Copies of this chain bind each other. A is one copy, B any other.
C-alpha cells in the first residue's frame, strides 16, 4: 500500500525541479483574466438564439472568439478573457493559436496531404508509414502496432472489435478460418458468427456514446436513457477515502473488494453463457468524477485479465498526451507488461489505439472504414509533440501540478466544509464540493472571476489545463478559487 501514496502524491517530481530550465510561456498572452459582461454575454446570447433554431443547444456555455484566443486564455464573443482550466473538455494540448500549429499547413506538402484526404486503408499517401512511425509510434507506451481512427468513441468501438476478434481466435486454438455456419449466422446477427460475448466495464466509467462504447459507459443516466444496450458485466471501481495517506488500510481493502468482484463477474458471465473477452478501464475515471485507483488495483486487474484469457484495454482518451506528467497515465502504474490496447483521442488531435501484435487481426477489412483517421491531424500532432519536447512540457506539467495540488490541499484545509478530496496526477487534478448545488455554485463563481473550469460526476471540479499552464497561471487559478471560497 505504500505505493499508492508514494505515487499518488507525486513526490518524485520535486527531484527534477532543480535541473529544470523553465518553459518561458506563450508570447502575447494576457496577464490575467478580464471580465466585461455576464457570461454568456449579449453577443453569445444572440448567437445562441440563432443556433437554437437549427440544433439542440442546451449544453452551450458561450461562443468563443478563436481568432483572438491565445495560449491559456480563451476569449469569448463578448471580449471576456478567461483563464482556461478546462480546454475544450481536455482537448487543447498546447494552448490556443500556438505558432507551431499555425505553421503546420503552411507547408505545401502537408496542406496537400490534408486536402486530399485519402482512404488510408486502401490508398495511403507515400508519407504515411514514416508519419505513423515518427509521430505516433515515437510516443507509444511500449506497444508495437497502431490503428488510427477519427475520435474517441470510434477508437474504443473498433478496439473492442480487436478484443473480440483476438478472443475468438484463441477459442479456435489459433485457427484463422471460419466455419460456414459462422459466416452464415453473422449475416443475420446470430451466434455462432455473432457470438454471445461481453466486455467488462466499471460503474462510473465513460468510454463514449455510440452503441458499443455506450454499453460500457455508466457515468450519467441522461447519456444512456432510451438507448438499447448489450448485457455486459459492470464491476465496481474503487471509491477511496481522502486524504489517501490517512486512509491507506480502508483504501487497500476497497481495492481488494473491487478486484474480488471483477473475478466473480468473470465466473458469473461465463455461467450465463456470455463470457468476458476483455476489460475496459480508464486510468482515472474522468467524466464519472475523476475517480482514481492505485497502481496495485491496475496490476491486479491485469493479472485477472491474463488469468481469464481476456484482453486489457486502457482508455487514455482523456488522460493521455501528457496531462498527468507522463505521456500516458497508466505509465504511473508499473504494470508487468503493457496493456493489450491503449486508446487515445482529444489532445492527440487524432483518434486511434496502440496495441500488441496479438491484437492485430489476421484478415484485412475486419477493422476498417473509409478514412481510417486523417493525416492532417497527425501532422498537427507532430507539431504538438515537437512543442512538448522542445519546451520540456512534461516537466512543466509536473511542476505546475505540484504547485496546484499543494495549493488545493491548503484550501481544503482552510475550507473543509466547501471542498475536499483533492486528488490526481500532474495537472490532471480534481476536488469535490459537498453537494452538486455547491459544486455548480463554485463553477459559476469561478467563471465570473474569469476562470473557465469544468465539473465531472456529481460533486467534482476537474482541472484540465493545457500542458503550457505554468506556475503563474496556477497562482491565478488558486487565487480566484480562494476568493470564491471566501465569498461563499
Contact = CB atoms under 8 A, between A and B. Distances in A.
Given A77-B126, A125-B64, A228 B198 contact: yes
Instruction: Say how many copies of this protein the assembly contains.
Output: 2
A223 B367 CA distance: 8
A269 interface: no
Given A108-B67, A112-B97, A119-B91, A43 B126 contact: yes
Contacts of A213: 210-211
Nearest to A223: B365
Given A58-B365, A370-B151, A370-B152, A117 B145 contact: no
A221 B187 contact: yes
B67 A109 contact: yes
A60 interface: yes
Given A97-B116, A115-B380, A89 B122 contact: yes
Contacts of A77: 126
A153 interface: yes
A364 B133 CA distance: 40
Contact of A91 (B224, B226, B360, B370): B370
A147 to B, nearest CB: 6
Interface in A167-213: 167-168, 178, 182-184, 186-190, 193-198, 203, 208-213
Which label, helix, strand, loop or mixed, suits the secondary structure of the A interface? loop
Contacts of A128: 47, 51, 63
B63 A360 contact: no
Interface stretch (A30-38, A230-238, A426-434): A230-238
A223 B187 CA distance: 9
A4 interface: no
A402 to B, nearest CB: 28
A312 to B, nearest CB: 18
A168 B226 contact: yes
B226 A364 contact: no
A382 interface: no
Interface string A51-70: 10111111111111111010
Contacts of A116: 66, 69, 92, 96-97
A60 B346 CA distance: 27
B151 A150 contact: yes
A151 B369 contact: yes
Interface stretch (A158-166, A289-297, A476-484): A158-166
A222 interface: yes
Given A126-B47, A228-B196, A59 B211 contact: no
A59 B368 contact: yes
Contact of A66 (B118, B161, B361): B118
B97 A193 contact: no
A17 interface: no
Nearest to A368: B59
A417 to B, nearest CB: 29
B178 A225 contact: yes
Contact of A189 (B47, B137, B229): B229
A371 interface: yes
26 contacts: A50-B130, A51-B124, A53-B144, A55-B145, A55-B146, A56-B147, A56-B362, A58-B364, A59-B121, A64-B125, A66-B112, A66-B126, A69-B116, A97-B112, A97-B115, A102-B111, A105-B105, A161-B226, A164-B226, A182-B221, A184-B221, A186-B224, A186-B229, A189-B230, A197-B228, A212-B212
A-B CB proximity, top 10 nearest: A58-B364, A211-B212, A189-B229, A157-B210, A59-B364, A194-B229, A66-B116, A186-B224, A168-B226, A50-B129
